[in-house]
Amino acid sequence: MDSYNISTERGLTVYGCLRRVQLADAMLAMHFAVEDAEILEISSSIEIDLGGLEIDIALLSRMLRMILSWGSLEKQPQLIGI
């Protein structure tokens, strides 16, 4: 456990699996390593439209930066707009 992790509703978990995370306006894009996306049984690229939701984008950005920069440098994703 040397980095952040991503877990699914089914309990599938992978550590350090994101390659790139981008936050632009109200769109959050997460790009996973293909092999880790297969383990999680999800697409390797996911986009979440945050528009219309009552989300503090600045706070979300700070928290993502804090969480995703924890642990091993080689497992930290490229952060764009975060």
Other beta carbons less than 10 A from residue 38's beta carbon: 12
- The phi, psi pair for 55, rounded to 5°, reads -120, 135
Distance between CA atoms of 30 and 37, rounded to whole angstroms?
11
**Consecutive 10-residue runs of the chain (82 residues): their mean pLDDT?**
91 96 95 98 97 92 95 93 94
Q: What are the structural domain ranges in the chain?
A: 5-80
Q: What is the pLDDT of residue 59?
A: 95
Q: What is the pLDDT of residue 25?
A: 86
Q: What is the pLDDT of residue 2?
A: 84
Other beta carbons less than 10 A from residue 41's beta carbon: 9
Q: What is the pLDDT of residue 75?
A: 92
